[in-house]
Structure formats: C-alpha cells, structure tokens
Homo-oligomer: A and B are copies of this chain.
C-alpha cells in the first residue's frame, strides 16, 4: 500500500535499529487506531527512538527525503492528532522508549522528564518527593507527558493549577529541520524574545517533536477535602462556584458538574458505585478544597462553604468525604462519566468552552437546537465547570439504531458549534484539533488568524513533513 521506497524505509530503520522498528502489520495497529475509531490510519513503519539524537536523525532524514512523520505519545487523544493518514506514506515516531526521568529537584520544585514518561509515573515520582504534579486526567495510566504537552492537555486540576501549558517551564524540541533546541529552563521569569515554548505547547507535533520538558512541581497540600452536592439547576452550580471561589480562592482545586442522567447511568452501569446523596437531583457538583496548612483547615473551609450555600438555598443536599477512600469514591463517579455514557449507545460529542459565567446560558440555548434535530436525543453534559469547559455530549435516543450517530452527527454538531462561536467560546477546549476538527477550525477561525498559523507552519516546517494534515 505504501509508496515509500523500501530502501528509504531501511534508512529510517537503521537510525533506531531493527528491534526498535515495527514493520509487520499486526504490530502496528495500536499505533494507527484512534480513540473514536472514525479514522483508519495506515503506516509502513513505527520507529521507537531511544534518545533525542535519534529523533533528530529521523527528522533530518525525513526532511531530506520529504517523508511525512507523525509523532506519537500514548495515543490516547480525542482528536485524531497522533495517527498516520490512510495513504500509508506516513511514518509513526513513537516516543515511548524515551521515558527517563532525567532529574528531580525538590528544592527547585522542578522535574526534567522525557516525552515518553507515563503521566501516572510522573505523578508518583513527584509524590515520592513529597511534591505534587497536578495534571490529572482519566487516561493518566497510559498517556505520555510529551503528548500531554503537545496537546496542552486539560483535566480536572486546571481550575487551580492551569492547563498543561502552565505546568511547563522549559522544553527540549527537535525542530522540523532536525536540529535540537535545548530550552529546558527552570526559570519563573525569562523575557528573552519570542515565546517559543508556548508555541510548541499545543502545536500537536506539527512544527517539531517535543522530546523532554522541565515541569513544575508544587508543595503537596496538607489537606484535601472533597464534597459532593446535589443542586436544582446549572445556575445554582454557577452560584456555588462563585461562592466557593470567593471563599477559598486558589484553594478551590476542583469543581466538576454532572447531570442526573450521568448519575443514573453510572450507578446503573457500575454495581459498586452509589450516589453519595440520599435523594435524586437534577445536577451534581463534585468540588475539592485543598489547604497548604492542614486537613482541618480544608475541612473547615468546605463545611463553612456548604453551610453558607445551604443557607442561601443554592444546594439541596451535600456530603463531605470523611476519609481518603470516600474522596476517591466521589472522584470515581466523575471519572466514570464517559464510560457510563458509552453504555447509552452512540454519542455525539463536543469538547467546548464558554466564559464561565455563561455556562448556564449555553446549556439553555443549546438544548432546543439539539432537540429540534431529534427530540429523543439525550443531553449528557458534564465537565470542568470552573473552567467553563463542558463535555457537551448527546447520547442517542433509547430506541435509536446504530446509524443514529452517523446520520445525526453533523446536524447536531453544526448548530452547537455555531452557538459556541456566537457566545465567544472555543470549539475545542481541551482535546485539541488533530485531524478531527481541522476543517471545523478552518470554518470557525478568522482568515487572519488562520493565515498567521499557516505562515508559522510554513516558516518552521517548510517541507511540511511534521504531522501533515493535522491542525492547520
């Protein structure tokens, strides 16, 4: 299938050695399949370089021969950004073997990690030094930090600690020319020219390959208290958020909202999971308050907040986790939302954001748009309320067939995304663009912005070898 010359393939294999190159079809599936199974990629070759010099040698060869390469981390993305296309001419470069933790410096609160380090390993290593690496998302057991950085991953700790972008101090990058840029800085302040770091973060491997990073560590909170609340409306969720931020400021480290359909699905699908509250509610909020002072301090803040919110009739009911296993049980409910939604059949997803205070308005305006397409469609909206980031997913009606997803997808996507744009929102809050939303990006961005992105792409990757067909 591939039109790549066998001699050329051999030259690429030579860089990493035969045992670090996959050429047999079966071996390569996990590098070509993507999360949503919408696109089917094909590749003649998966390369697994063991160090930065090998990555640079691969890119130089690709540049010299005009061969397209696709950098890949844990391949857990939701936007089809890390798979080859269908041509069979794109070579996958997996960073998985570059998984060393080069340095951990608890005094500087930094760690230098290679791109292939699994996020969970990074978290655990920091924890072992009594430090926190706050990035936290459901695929953390298999996603890699290089992919997290290349997609500027979000997750459940953004509210207090920011996106991945905010957790990175420096980068090591192999440029599209095959040069190595050592930008592994540990500085809080550095105003020396253009911000290349932030340009590579979130660029999804289209202008270079991130091979290592200096990441920030944080003091581990001394206390962390989770609370679970039932509420009557999204407006009440917003009111609770504002009250929590006013009281706890940056100590509010998590604020997730979930719909009643989510609670029903998750308790139905997973026998061990139960609703922490006695009654049913239209909305649920999982919120977490952390204290740098003490467990008691976090508990006092949480209780004082819930007391005030109950007085103000913002929440109907609430419960505070009394120990670590209860805290984890609360989070499990949130983390199982996507899996439980899968049980409801086909799902049309939107990873969108709006200004935080407009979340209720967005949900109110989006609902009739969805139901005018299909009155039986089940809206399953949840996510990172504190960031204005809604996973605005729509499950098929109970009686719908397997083709529902395909026939309704565009009909529902289009008005939802138009509403997002009209409300000043983002059509990809945390999952990125990849191949999935490349056309949507072109439709929703201004020509001025698109042209600047394309100019940068042309300037930094003139031969268009870096993950072509993605983002821009």
Chain A positions within 8 Å of B, measured between CB atoms, are: 105, 107-108, 110, 151-152, 154, 158, 163, 165-166, 175, 179-183, 185-196, 198-199, 201-203, 207, 219, 242, 245-251, 292-293, 301, 353-358, 384, 386-389, 424-433, 437, 441, 444-446, 448-449, 451-453, 455-460, 471-472
Contacts and interface: CB of A to CB of B under 8 A. Distances in A.
Contacts of A203: 194-195
Given A183-B449, A199-B195, A189 B455 contact: no
A199 B165 CA distance: 13
B458 A188 contact: no
20 contacts: A152-B191, A158-B188, A163-B189, A163-B191, A181-B452, A185-B424, A189-B353, A189-B388, A189-B430, A191-B429, A194-B199, A194-B207, A194-B471, A195-B199, A196-B453, A199-B199, A248-B292, A251-B292, A452-B460, A455-B460
B194 A456 contact: yes
A199 to B, nearest CB: 6
Give the top 10 A-B pairs by smallest Cβ distance, nearest first.
A459-B459, A249-B292, A198-B198, A190-B426, A250-B250, A189-B429, A186-B355, A455-B459, A188-B387, A179-B448
B430 A471 contact: no
Contacts of A429: 187, 189-191
Contacts of A192: 426-428, 433, 437, 441, 444-445
A250 to B, nearest CB: 4
A191 B448 contact: no
B452 A191 contact: no
Given A198-B198, A246-B292, A187 B455 contact: no
Contacts of A301: 293
A384 B189 contact: yes
B202 A199 contact: no
How many copies are assembled? 2
Contact of A472 (B189, B193, B195, B452): B193
A249 B224 CA distance: 14
Contact of A355 (B179, B187, B245): B187
A189 B152 CA distance: 10
A292 B247 contact: yes
A456 B452 contact: no
Contact of A452 (B158, B175, B190, B451): B175
Nearest to A165: B195
Given A108-B355, A180-B448, A292-B247, A188 B389 contact: yes
Contact of A191 (B151, B189, B292): B151
Contacts of A198: 195, 198-199
A192 B417 CA distance: 13
Contacts of A357: 105, 107-108
Contacts of A452: 175, 181, 194, 196, 460
Given A180-B448, A449-B183, A193 B471 contact: yes
Given A185-B424, A426-B187, A453 B194 contact: yes
B219 A186 contact: no
A444 B353 CA distance: 40
A430 B191 contact: yes
Given A189-B387, A353-B190, A456-B459, A249 B247 contact: no
A213 to B, nearest CB: 15
B181 A449 contact: yes
A456 B462 CA distance: 12
Nearest to A185: B424
Residue of A165, A191, A201, A202 most packed against chain B (CB within 10 A): A191
A153 to B, nearest CB: 9
A108 B456 CA distance: 32
Nearest to A292: B249
A435 to B, nearest CB: 13
